[in-house]
Every structure is written in C-alpha cells, then in structure tokens.
Chain A
Amino acid sequence: MLAYGIDPKVIMAELTGREAGISKGKGGSMHMFSTEHKFYGGHGIVGAQTPLGTGLAFAARYKWEVLETGPKQVCLCYLGDGAIDQGAFHEAKNLASLMGIPVIYIIENNGYSMGTAIHRHTANHDKLTMRGEAYGIKSIEIDGLDIRNVYDKMKPLVDECRDLQRPGFVDLKTYRYQGHSMSDPQKYRTKDEVDEFKGKDSIANLLDYLLKSEDEGGRGCITEDEWKAMQKKIKDIVMDAVDFAENAADPDPETELVTDTYALPMKNLSPSETYHHGAKNPLL
C-alpha cells in the first residue's frame, strides 16, 4: 500500500482500528482498500484474492474489448507461497488462461506458509513455475532479493501481459525476518537461517549499489549523509503516522457500526429494533 503512494497515516489508523483509518476502522489489517489508488485489497482468506484479481482484470479487458471505453490494462495479484495450494488459485489460473485475462499472479515466496516450510506444504516446491505453465501461463522465477533484477524481469512481463492480454505467473523469491504474527515463537526455523538471509538483505544491497562509485561497480548517486537523512525522514514519517493513529478517534458505534452495510439500504432488510406495538428491543 505504501508503494502505491497511500498515506501511511490512514494505514496506521486502520491498523489501530480508528475512524480515520482507510476502511474507517471496519476493515482492519487484512482488509484495506483504496479507490483513489486503485488498490483493491486486502483480502483475509488466503488464496481467495486470486479469483477476485482475475475478475478485476476480466473487467479491464471487457472495458477495452466490449465497452471500448478503456485502454489495455493489467492487474497485479499478490499472494504468498502458502496460497498456492488453495483450490481457488487453480480455478483462477484455469479461467485466466482460458479467457485470456491480463492478470499477473505474483507469488511472494518467502518459503513459509505461516510456520510450515514450503517443502512440507507444496509438492514440487522447487519448481513453482510448473504450476503456471501447467495452465499455459507464461511463468518466470525472479530473485526478489535484488531489487534491480525484480524491475528488469518484471517490466517486460507486465508489458507482454498487457499487450497480449494474457496472464502471467511469477515465483518471486524472498524472505521474512519477523514472525508471521505477534504470537510466533519461530520454532520452525533456525536463527542461522535468518542471519544468512539478513546477510543478503535487499535494501542493504541496493544501498551498497547506490553508495558505491561507478568505478566500484555502483551508481554513486547518494552519500552516507544523505542516507542518514533519508533514514531520519522515514523514521519521522512512521512516527507521525503512529502519532496520528494514536490521537485519532475510535469509530463511533452510533454512526459507523451500521453504515456501509448496503449501498442501497431499504426498510426491513434487518430485523427492526422498534416493534409495531411501540416496544423497543434493547438488545438490537
């Protein structure tokens, strides 16, 4: 969401369940959306976002092809390696390939489905691209720890999928340092393994490249001082977001609890709280 340019303040406010949050405190960490930025969620059920993403792309193609109101577009649909075993994902890939739907499934493959290592949850785990190719979908593997490499490999695929109106599949290899959630003791992996990946950290690698001169094989476009200033700036942005969220009001149950249930509310959609003989149910 940050990469989409969404204000960190409204994200933090949603994480903390405030009315100023991007879903007014009704969505939470797993259900955030932005109409402004065409960010379509945020879906809580692992794998369930893949048919939805396919549908967004279906609509984009429909607008281009049937309504003739839009340009060719492409939808990027993100999922983890834990989601690739869901049936919904297989159905989505089949539909996308059959119908020529411009959606790119990007597997953020960090090697763990919560606490279950990939070799314990996915058959043929060392060749995930087979799962795209099996459906006739162009499938590539990308080392996600090298940011420039990600751009160089992704750009042609995005262009191709948009141009040909075809789906794509990316096994984007990455890692996660923290636990899956707040309550994860991380007994399923060794500290050595985590340290090994920290040694190939993608941000550290990029920084190294940007700091090094061109003679040393880098770009030499920022200095140590600029890097320090940048870190401070980021810290400030984060702290501002935390302050904003902490000082934001909780959603008001009087107004926010029942709104946004229906786009077109009507009488008697829900059991009513006031009865015909004048009594009122105090519990509704």
Chain B
Amino acid sequence: MTTAYTPDLSKITSDIHPAIGTWELPTFVAESEMPSREGDRLIQYREALREAMSEEMRRDKTVFLIGEEVAEYNGAYKVSQGMLDEFGPKRIIDSPISENGFAGMCIGAAMNGLKPIVEFMSWSFSLVAADPILNNAPKMLYMSGGQWGCPIVFRGNDGAGGQLGSTHSWCVEGLYANVPGLKMAIPSNPYDAKGLLKTAIRDPDPVFFLESERMLGDKAHVPEEEYYIPFGRARVAREGDAVTLVSWGRPVHFCVDAAERLAQDGIECEVLDMRTIRPLDIDSIVESVKKTNRVVVVDQSWPFGGVASETISQICEHCFDWLDHQPVRVNTRDVPTPYAKGLEAAYLPNADRIVEAVNGILA
C-alpha cells in the first residue's frame, strides 16, 4: 500500500513559500470590536486603497505593486499617487500594456516567494489575461498537489465607469466568481476598501479585488488605527423588517437609496452589503430572511448564470421555507453595455428598479 506523495520539507527553503510555508495571518476581531465607522477623518475610496497598500508594503518588503501607469503617472486613477516616491521604482512598477504578460509574470513571482499586487486599470482589460488569472493562479495549489500556492492580489475598476461603452464597462464577477480556488472581495465604501484590501494582501490565496471607478472619489471616515476586515462577513448597511436587499459593491448605495425612499411609505428594508462574494456570507442572509421573509438581490453584472443567480440558489437551498415570495433579482439588463448616457442609466440597476421590485413583492 502506498501513501500520498509528500515532499521532503527539509529540502524546501522557506522563501519558496506558499501553501507549505508558514503564513502570518492578521488578527481579526468581532464586528462589535472593530474601530468605529463614524468620525471625521474623511478620505476618498482611492486614498483608503492607497493606505492599505502602503501600510502592507511598509510591513512586508515582499509586497510590490505593478500595473499600467501606477508609478510615474501616479496611477491612471490616482490610487497609487505618491507611492513611487516612498517605495521606489523596484517596488512600484510601471508595466507595458500587456496584461497577459505581467499578470502571468506576477503569478510566477508569487510562486517564488513574493506577494504581488497587480493593478488592472480596468477589470475589462483583465480579459486578455484570462488564461493566467483563471488557469494558473486559482489552480496552482490544486494541480501541484498542495506544493505551490499563489498569494497574489489582482485589483482594479469593475463595472460601468460612465459612458465608456461595451468593452470598457465589464463587471467580471459573474464570470470569474465561477472559478474555485480564488477569493473575491467587492467593497462598497472607503472603510471596507481599506480593511478588505489589507486582508487580501495578507491572504495566501489569489484574491480578486473589485473596485469601482464611480466610487473612487467617495469620502467616508476611515480610522487612523490599523484594522483588518475578515472575508465572509457581511455588513448590515441598514436595518429593516419588510424585505432584505442583498448586494455588493456600488449597487449597495442604490439599495440604501431605495430603502430610504421606501421608508417614507413605511416599508423598512434591511440592506446587506456582502463585501466578499467568495466567501459568500449566506449565514447573514439567512438570518435576515428569517426576519423579513422576502429578498431582492441586486447585482450589477448580467443576470444569466451570475452572482445574483448563485445567491438566490443558496437562499432557496437554505431558507426556502421562510420565504413568503420567490426571491427576486435586479441585474443590469441582458445586453452589452451601451454608450449613450440615458441608455447606460436604463441598463444599470438603480434605486427606481429596486423600489419597483420591492413594491412588486409586497403587492
């Protein structure tokens, strides 16, 4: 009888890291012990991302940032502004426009002990790097029988940036969340953006981190003190008992807007911001649905085979008996992203469509 293959650990130097090495994880605390979300240290979403990267780069020299225009241009969207000055050109690296090449290169670097942060100017451009980011990063640990992992963060703008047309407005979560082996975070506000990105950089698995061009200028209080937000813990953005609105990323704001309008009619919606969709905090959804018995899932990617569909499947599997109405989803319309302002607005999920969905359920 033979046993499973195990490498001789004594021959492996700790620098060729990943799965088999030691991994220093941050300490996570309960939601109630997290630093306050209220305060007057108002910074932009892009600054929160920058603080997360800079703090982790100060802590760990194996972390570096690469992407188009991240260094001398100071970031196409000014996320990495000033980082070149602090960390120098060996750690803040301008790449040529070759996503396939530099994404693949960073996966190799991750296999050899570094922790790359790869910035895609837009997740739309990640499609030309689909092979390395889907075929290599999430599968490396599995297909090497646990010998090599891939601690890497891919981050960038996801979703319609505003009149950029079909090829520049991708919401990749519907496509990419399908692949096992990766984790995916989609923060909706500066506080979460910082806490989740810091966690992503410390995580030993590949993390797909989806930001939004439309939120980079959003301001909110971000505490001075260091904090990490654990993956798989949803945030209750608003409490209510009539209908549960489940969302992630930018549409969370549409849900809150819709909830406030509905509240004027006496309909109190609960809004859940999932924060990560792999892992997906189904427990918090179930808890809320048990209270409201109705659920609307709002997803800014396409409806067919998307994250909303998956969320609703899981809701049906876990709390079908508590539902008083079939789960409803509000997605972008099932067409390529249009260019004209009015068409784009009609294409995206928005507060009107969410209000309509809620009223439809309660009618």
B362 at interface by CB-CB < 8 Å: no
B313 at interface by CB-CB < 8 Å: yes
Pick from A44, A87, A267: contact of B100, CB below 8 A: A87
B73 at interface by CB-CB < 8 Å: no
The interface residues of chain B lying within 8 Å CB-to-CB of A33 are 143-145, 147-148
Cβ contact within 8 Å between B61 and A35: no
User: Residue on B with the closest CB to A77?
Assistant: B108
Q: Which bracket fits the contact residues of B?
A: 35 or more
Cβ contact within 8 Å between A26 and B147: no
A74 at interface by CB-CB < 8 Å: no
Which of A15-23, A125-133, A205-213, A229-237 participates in binding chain B? A15-23
A29-51 interface code vs B (CB 8 A; 1 in, 0 out): 00101111010111111001011
Pick from B16, B107, B180, B231: contact of A266, CB below 8 A: B231
A276 at interface by CB-CB < 8 Å: yes
Cβ contact within 8 Å between B104 and A51: yes
Q: Which bracket fits the contact residues of A?
A: 35 or more
A91 to B128, CA, bound (A): 12
Cβ contact within 8 Å between B145 and A21: yes
User: Residue on B with the closest CB to A101?
Assistant: B105
User: Residue on A with the closest CB to B230?
Assistant: A266
Q: Give the Cβ gap from B331 to chain A, nearest Cβ, in Å.
A: 20
A140 at interface by CB-CB < 8 Å: no
Which of B32-40, B237-245, B278-286, B344-352 participates in binding chain A? B278-286
Question: Considering the complex, which residues of chain B in the window 92-115 have a beta carbon less than 8 Å from any beta carbon of chain A?
Answer: 93, 95-96, 98, 100-114
Cβ contact within 8 Å between A94 and B100: no
Q: Give the Cβ gap from A46 to chain B, nearest Cβ, in Å.
A: 10
Cβ contact within 8 Å between B106 and A35: no
Q: Give the Cβ gap from B16 to chain A, nearest Cβ, in Å.
A: 6
Cβ contact within 8 Å between B279 and A269: yes
Q: Give the Cβ gap from A63 to chain B, nearest Cβ, in Å.
A: 7
- A10 with B113: in contact, given A51-B100, A263-B204 (CB under 8 Å)? no
A19 to B205, CA, bound (A): 24
A35 to B11, CA, bound (A): 8
Which of B78-86, B131-139, B190-198 participates in binding chain A? B131-139
The interface residues of chain A lying within 8 Å CB-to-CB of B19 are 260, 263
- A19 with B3: in contact, given A45-B131, A66-B91 (CB under 8 Å)? yes
Q: Give the Cβ gap from B226 to chain A, nearest Cβ, in Å.
A: 20
State the A residues within 8 Å of B (CB). 10, 13-14, 18-28, 31, 33-36, 38, 40-45, 48, 50-60, 62-63, 65-67, 69-70, 87-88, 90-92, 94-95, 98-99, 244, 247-249, 251, 256, 259-264, 266-272, 275-277, 279, 281
Knowing that A51-B108, A54-B104, A268-B232 touch, tell me 12 more A-B residue pairs with CB under 8 angstroms: A31-B144, A35-B7, A52-B111, A53-B108, A54-B101, A54-B105, A88-B132, A94-B96, A249-B2, A256-B4, A259-B146, A269-B232
22 A/B residue pairs, CB under 8 Å, sorted by A: A19-B5, A24-B5, A27-B144, A34-B7, A41-B144, A45-B135, A51-B103, A51-B107, A52-B107, A56-B111, A60-B112, A62-B64, A62-B90, A63-B15, A66-B61, A88-B100, A249-B1, A249-B2, A260-B142, A260-B144, A260-B146, A276-B286
